[in-house]
Amino acid sequence: MKFAIALFSAAHAPSSRRALLFAQAALAGGHEIVRLFFYQDGVYSAANNIVTPQDEQDIARQWREFVSTHQLDGVVCIAAALRRGVLNSEEATRYQRSAVNLDAPWALSGLGQLHDATQTADRLICFGGP
């Protein structure tokens, strides 16, 4: 089955971990993930400047490694990300901000990517809230 996965919560929220576990299980079960789309506070789950205590799970890092390892299409909504200060180098330069906290494997793009994934996938699975 082809899944599109949307995430609306930050890396410290249990729902971000649940989404990651679901995504891992989907691939392990032989399914396809057509796209991951991070929206609202989900953009924080892609930020690379999160520092997690050593004895806790670093979910943002696990997301990054998961997307890289499986060469998935990981899209972070650009409007939601700008509003929350999640910027790649291109946007940091454009808006003259000193910090860059988003890089590969994530791409910043628009809501059209969510609709496109929804059309391509058999199922859209959303994760949000706590």
Interaction site with another protein (CB under 8 A): 6, 8, 39-40, 79-80, 83, 110-112, 114-115, 118-119, 123-124, 126, 128
For another protein, give the closer residue by CB, 45 or 62. 45
Reply yes or no on whether 77 is catalytic: yes
**Nearest-approach distance from CB 51 to another protein, in angstroms:** 25
CB nearer to another protein: pick between 70 and 83: 83
The least CB distance from residue 8 to another protein, in Å, is 7
Catalytic residue, chosen from 13, 33, 77, 117, is: 77
Sole residue written with tokens 């910043």: 108
Short-list 32, 45, 40, CA closest to 4: 32
Q: Is the dihedral of CA 83, 68, 72, 15 positive or negative?
A: negative
Residues 6+ apart with CB under 8 A from 37: 4, 5, 6, 7, 75, 77, 113, 114, 117
Nearer to another protein, 53 or 130 (CB): 130
CB neighbours of residue 59 within 10 Å: 21
Known catalytic residues are 77
